[in-house]
Amino acid sequence: MKNIVKRVIVGASNPPTDENIMVSTQQVIRKALDIMGYNESFYELLKEPLRLLTVRIPVRMDDGKVQVFTGYRAQHNDATGPTKGGIRFHPSVTADEVSALSLWMTIKCGIFDLPFGGGKGGIVCDPRSMSVGEVERLARGYVRAISQIVGPTKDIPAPDVYTNAQIMAWMLDEYSSIRENDSPGFITGKPIVLGGSRGREKATSLGTAIALREAALLQGKSLEGLKVCIQGFGNVGSNLAEILHSWGATVVGISDVNGGIYNEEGLDIPYLLDRRDSFGSVTNLFSTRLSNEEFLVLPCDVLVPAAMENQITLDNADAIQAQLVVEAANGPTTLEASERLHERGILVIPDVLANAGGVTVSYFEWVQNNQGYYWAEEEINKQLENKMVEAVHNVLENAKSRKITPRLAAYMVGIRKAAEASRYRGWL
């Protein structure tokens, strides 16, 4: 293995923040609707999910005792079609978080012209401390609890933080047995043998890599030798590291929940990919690690937060050294911090644009399930590439011509479809 760590390390933690992501999301939605001339009733409709279901899920644990978990499913707006979005298993899941995530899904589906509205789900749990059997029983219990409001023409879940293709497979199996027929289009991000799409596993990362490449080109930089730090080494972060490494960029830093590692000459990405565990942890192999706070302000050209929300805040925005921030995670930058970075001339490619490769290929998966005809991976990647390049240029050109942040421009492009569909349906 190449020399990986060069710095002194102090352990991981997260920057404190009390920003309510729902409030800041509503602020951007209000601004976007105001600029486009929509009246107050559009904001009243779009500021919250149409539906938010809270469920309690009893699970028999391996020790014989029953533990009751809380879960949520938010459906933001279904004027354009069924709602769509992932399910996360994480201790910090809240109703507000799931609601904000469902709003962001509506914006993504609007920007990428997908025939869906936004949805999102989550269960408050820590799957890292549960057995495989406990996770399976929890996943099946969640589907039983939400089965009335989901389905291939109602609301279509997918993976998110600490969920994966295996969990989607259990959920599909449970849903199919409740409905007494096989319903592969009920969920996306499935294993390929159960109707999953080729390319879905890496789709979010491929989309982010394309967005990063296009944004860097606009800054006059090519990928060759570009120094990139990636926070989070799960599905999104690790596949992104692999793609960027293979495209000639130099991945100088990666981190996970346990902390970060950095080498200004580049990390040994194939080694790290080989050693990561199924929860996206690898840095615990190293005796010395950077804290999360140290990691985010390391010298690099591009910083990619690919873990959790509220990582870049006003506390660290002035210390960020990257000239380009590409949000692979959902909500990694608080609104104030994002505006501060914009003032500092740092280009921020917002989450609703940068990480929408996942939902785009989930859409392709749903289309293939409906058709019963499956496409080659090259076809999927080519269509994803076309959609990403078009969306990135559309949003960034809008931002430039209107002299607004890329986030506001993305919200303007993204919310219009839900607003217009709601109007045509006679809701407003």
Ligand X SMILES: O=C(O)CCC(=O)C(=O)O
According to the binding rule CB under 6 A, does residue 234 interact with ligand NAI? yes
Half-sphere exposure of 54 (CA within 13 A, CB side): 9
Q: Three-class SS of residue 421?
A: helix
Question: Of the residues 2, 31, 84, 120, which is catalytic?
Answer: 120
Mind giving me the DSSP string for 6-54?
Answer: -S-------------HHHHHHHHHHHHHHHTT--HHHHHHHTS-SEEEE
Residue 307 binds which of ligand NAI, ligand X, none (CB < 5-8 A, kind-dependent): ligand NAI
Using rule CB under 6 A, residue 355 touches ligand X: yes
Cβ atoms of 325 and 228 within 8 Å: the answer is no
Nearer to ligand X, 200 or 245 (CB): 200
Q: Which of 99, 106, 313, 330 binds ligand NAI (CB under 6 A)?
A: 330
Count, residues near ligand X per rule CB under 6 A: 13
CB of 314 to ligand X, least distance (A): 25
308 binds, among ligand NAI, ligand X, none (CB under 5 to 8 A by kind): ligand NAI
* Cβ-Cβ contacts under 8 Å for 213 (sequence gap 6 or more): 223, 247
Angstrom distance (rounded) from CA 230 to CA 227: 10
Q: Active site includes 120?
A: yes
**Binding-site member from 206, 359, 384, 421 for ligand X (CB under 6 A):** 359
Q: What phi and psi, each to the nearest 5 degrees, are found at residue 419? A: -65, -45
Q: Is 140 in the site for ligand X (CB under 6 A)?
A: no
| Binder of ligand NAI out of 29, 308, 347, 409 (CB under 6 A) | 308
> Which residue number, 189 or 305, has a Cβ lying nearer to ligand X?
189
CA dist 377 to 119, 246, 356, Å? 26, 18, 18
Could you say which of 134, 160, 174, 294 contacts ligand X (CB under 6 A)? 160
Rg from Cα positions in the chain: 20
Binding footprint of ligand NAI, residue count (CB under 6 A): 25
Provide the residue count of the chain. Answer: 428
Which of 75, 164, 188, 338 lies at the binding interface for ligand X (CB under 6 A)? 188
Go through 171-183 and write b for each residue having 16 or more CB atoms within 10 A of its CB, e for each that does not: bbbbbbeeeeeeb
Would you please indicate which residues are annotated as catalytic (active-site) residues? 120
Q: Which residues bind ligand X (CB under 6 A)?
A: 84-86, 108, 158, 160, 188-189, 330, 355, 358-359, 362
Q: Which residues bind ligand NAI (CB under 6 A)?
A: 14, 159-162, 204, 232-237, 256-257, 280-281, 292, 306-308, 328-330, 355, 358
